[in-house]
């Protein structure tokens, strides 16, 4: 799929969702993602956002006197709650920065380059757009991914999309249940 379409569609869909909700519920569920080796099959969560356009000095968002480049703040209370839910359930929830790319790496060399440059534990194609849109609308944002494959030379036989979706769904269902109990 064209990466511009993916990010534009994500931004649009999130904007429509945000405008339809009552100000409390915010959730984006995305599919499978590529990641570093030890994380394959496990849900992962971005703790601090993405890396920056600051190099060229043009912010993606200016809000309340703050300039944001490609690193967008995520919602601390939601991330703390996610960590608590994962620990209580005995689920492995790995935290680390995500890298939003316009095209999947597809090779181990490119994956290692992105890791050296940005330190991301996971790459995706729409997370940055979702976080940017949430910031523009002033709503909470947390990103949780189900990891289906390694960032390596493409080998579809090693992908496990059903496992990634199953584990991410199990975590999200527990998280939503914990939020409902808190209300």
Pick the CATH number of 3-182 from 1.20.120.80, 3.40.50.1580, 3.40.640.10, 2.40.30.10: 3.40.50.1580
pTM of the model: 0.68
CB 176 within 8 Å of CB 131: no
pLDDT tens for 123-145 read 888 888 888 888 888 888 888 88
62 exposure class (CB count in 10 Å sphere: 0-12, 13-18, 19+): exposed
pLDDT tens for 57-82 read 878 888 889 998 767 888 889 889 99
């Amino acid at each position: 799929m064209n990466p511009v379409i993916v990010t534009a569609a994500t931004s649009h869909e999130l904007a429509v969702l945000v405008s339809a909700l009552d100000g409390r519920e915010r959730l984006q569920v995305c599919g499978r993602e590529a990641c570093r080796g030890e994380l394959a099959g496990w849900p992962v969560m971005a703790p601090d956002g993405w890396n920056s356009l600051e190099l060229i000095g043009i912010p993606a968002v200016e809000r309340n006197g703050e300039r944001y480049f490609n690193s967008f703040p995520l919602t601390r209370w939601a991330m703390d709650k996610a960590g608590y839910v994962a620990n209580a359930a005995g689920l492995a929830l790995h935290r680390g920065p995500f890298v939003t790319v316009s095209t999947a790496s597809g090779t181990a060399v490119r994956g290692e380059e992105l890791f050296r440059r940005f330190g991301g534990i996971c790459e995706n194609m729409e997370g940055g757009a979702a976080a940017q849109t949430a910031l523009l609308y002033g709503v909470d944002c947390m990103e949780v991914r189900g990891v289906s494959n390694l960032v390596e030379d493409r080998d579809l036989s090693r992908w496990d999309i059903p496992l990634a979706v199953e584990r991410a769904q199990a975590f999200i269902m527990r998280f939503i249940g914990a939020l409902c109990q808190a209300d």
